[in-house]
Each structure stands twice: as structure tokens, then as C-alpha cells.
Amino acid sequence: MDRTPAFIPASEALTDRFGRRIEYLRLSVTDRCDLRCVYCMAERPDFLPKSELLTLEELTTVAETFIRRGIRKIRITGGEPLVRRDVVRLIENLGRHVGSGLDELTLTTNATQLERHANALAMSHLCRINVSLDTLQGDRFARLTRGGDIACTLRGIEAARRAGIGIKINTVALRNENEDEIPAMIEWAHEQGFDLTLIEVMPVGDVGSDRADQFLPLTAIRDRLEQRWTLTDLPDSTGGPARYVRIGETGGRVGFITPLTANFCAGCNRIRMTCTGTLHTCLGHDDDLDLRGALRTGGPGAVDRLIDTAMAIKPEAHDFSIARGGAPAVTRNMARTGG
């Protein structure tokens, strides 16, 4: 396989109309998941026919086109990416570009499938994983995921740790659900040597409940944490929207992703592609470009041209807001968009 050159000509580098350098691709491989988290999808979701998904070969071709255009970080997402058959082969293909085009190849997962895939992932140049985990309490986990078994997720995390994969925990802050447990989650993560990032619930897709009932502003959570611990702001970045603090008493880092209380769009470096090849320039807008059609009719050259179009239409900021009884900001759900 050809290696992508580390130097990207200025004429090919991805810069949007606001001068932001786009270097981070979130690449969804499936909309399917083995959990049904209450803030992510409806209890009985309508999954896409498998025939509509890009093949692994097509996903590889599109991803390599993005790498050639200056994408430095790719995150594999879903749904739950590890429920897709042979997804490890895709990760192996893209892992060959780490250090030669890509700085990072990462994965977001609920960890339910990690126990059987951890060793193969560790050998594929996967740099680290983000594990979605909103509670450590078994009964609460089952309720929030609509039937999930926390023991399976914890075994997956331990398998990844043993395999030497870097791990970060992502926790969605949910009003009246897990807000009382957030300090304990932080203490547990830091005891394990993991960073933990808190995320505000986002008004994306219809999940069968009012997002206003779920929304918990992280400004309030930070205030509570500062009453308990010493928080020091850090300049650290992992290439995403999180802003980090160090907790003096635990020694670990906590990230805050705040799409509603502290808009982070000015520094956006991201673009998203769904498992069907639909390119979204912003999580909070319903714009889309059909890379699957372009690839199948015109090959990588046609994909290149649509990527240029994406840079010309990427909005300056999202329009997220949460109001009681209000409609979602976008109709597609997170699992279909790529979490």
C-alpha cells in the first residue's frame, strides 16, 4: 500500500472558509449498536439496511483520500463500531498510515466487544480508545442502556488495558440520572490511570424523551467539583473539543465538552462521514454531501471535489439549543451520524 506523504501541498490541505484547518475525520462504520442508551437512540431504532453501508474497501479508499488531503487524526465511530464484521481489518488498513500521514487512529466504543478484540486492536496501531461509560452502578447502567450488562463493559476495559491500549472514559452528564455519581466516576477513572471527559447531552435525533429533562450544564458540575477539589486549567488538547483541568487531589485530568454552555466552534477542526458515505461538515446542521455516490460513479477524484465543496459550505457554528418540548437541532440520531 502506498504511504501517504507527511508533507501536504498547501493547495490540497483542507481549510474551510473561516480559515480553520480541518485535520480530524470522525468515520462511522455502522449505525448499529448492542446497547440502546437513552440519550442516543430510540428504544426500538430503525437501523439502515446493510446494503446501504459503504464496504470496508470503500471506507478505506475514502479515508485514504482524506489522509492525502491532510487529515491527521481519524476516529472510528458508530453506533458501536466493533459490532461490524471485519472492522478490525479496516483499522489494520488505516493503522498502516500512523506515523506516515496520520498522527492518530482512535476508536470510540461502549467496550462490550472489547474483550475479544483488544489484542488485535493493539496490534493494528490503534493509538487509544474512548469508552462511553455513564455509571459504575449495575442497575443504573442497565436502565441507561436499556438492558446492558456493566460487567461486560468492565471486562472489555480491562482487556484493553492488559493489551496496552490507551483508554479515556467519556461520561454524558444526565440530570437526575448520574449527576450524583460524577465525583465517584472521576475518582475511579483516575485510580485506573484514565482521563475522564464529561459531555453535555446534545439535541441530536429523536430518542423518545425530552432532552430538557436530561440536560445538565457542565458549568454547574464544575462549580460542584471546585467545592470538593482543586481544579487547574490546562492547555492540553487531544485534537477534539474537550477543555481539560487537572485535579490536584487525584492527579488526573478531567475534560469538559460543552456544546451548549460554552460553544467551542471557533476552533473546530472536524468533519464527519456516516457509514453510508454521507459527509456532514457540522454535527449541528443537516447539510450533507454524498461521498458514496461520488466514489461509485467518479472514483477518488470525485470524492476530492466533494471534499472541496465541504470546505466551502462548512458553517461557522452549530445552532444547538435545548428547550422543553423543543424539536432536536437535527433529525438524524447520533448513532447514524457517528458518535
Of 33-37, 108-112, 137-141, the one with minimum mean pLDDT is 33-37
Q: Alpha carbon 251 to chain centroid distance? A: 25
Domain-embedded: residue 195: yes
Residue 239 has a pLDDT of 60
Query: Rounded CA gap, 339 and 318, in Å?
Result: 16
The answer to whether residue 218 scores a pLDDT higher than 80 is yes
Is 334 assigned to a binding site? no
Q: Confirm whether residue 272 is marked as ligand binding.
A: yes
Q: 90 in a domain, yes or no?
A: yes
Would residue 74 count as lying in a domain?
Answer: yes
Task: Give 245 or 215, the one with higher predicted confidence.
Answer: 245
What gap in Å lies between CA 231 and CA 91, rounded to an integer? 36
In a domain, 11, yes or no: no
User: How far apart are the C-alpha atoms of 108 and 131, rounded to whole Å?
Assistant: 6
Does the annotation list 106 as a binding residue?
A: no
Asked if the structure places residue 19 within a domain, the reply is: no
Ligand-binding site membership of 84 (annotated):
no
**Total domains in the fold of the chain:** 1
40 assigned binding-site residue: yes
Print the domain residue range for 209: 24-337
pLDDT score recorded for residue 236: 78
CATH number for the domain spanning 39: value is 3.20.20.70
| Environment class of 134 (CB within 10 Å of its CB; exposed 0-12, middle 13-18, buried 19+) | buried
Q: Please, what is the end-to-end C-alpha distance for the chain in angstroms?
A: 29
Question: Does 14 reside within a domain?
Answer: no
pLDDT of residue 1: 41
Q: Where does the pLDDT of residue 38 fall: very low under 50, low under 70, confident under 90, or very high at 90 and above?
A: confident
d(CA 71, CA 26): 10
pLDDT per residue as tens digits for the range 289-339: 999 999 999 999 999 999 999 999 998 876 655 544 555 555 556 666 666
Question: For residue 268, what pLDDT is reported?
Answer: 84
Burial class (CB in 10 A: 0-12, 13-18, 19+), 156: buried
Q: 154 or 176, which is more confident?
A: 154
Residue 5 lies in a domain: no
Q: Answer yes or no: is 17 within a domain.
A: no
146 is in an annotated binding site: no
pLDDT range class, residue 5, cuts 50, 70, 90:
very low
Q: Any binding-site annotation on 268?
A: yes
Statement: residue 232 has pLDDT above 80: yes
Element of type H or E holding 140: helix 138-144
C-alpha cell at 103: 498522527
**314 annotated as a binding-site residue:** no
Which of 141, 140, 134 has its CA nearest to residue 169?
134
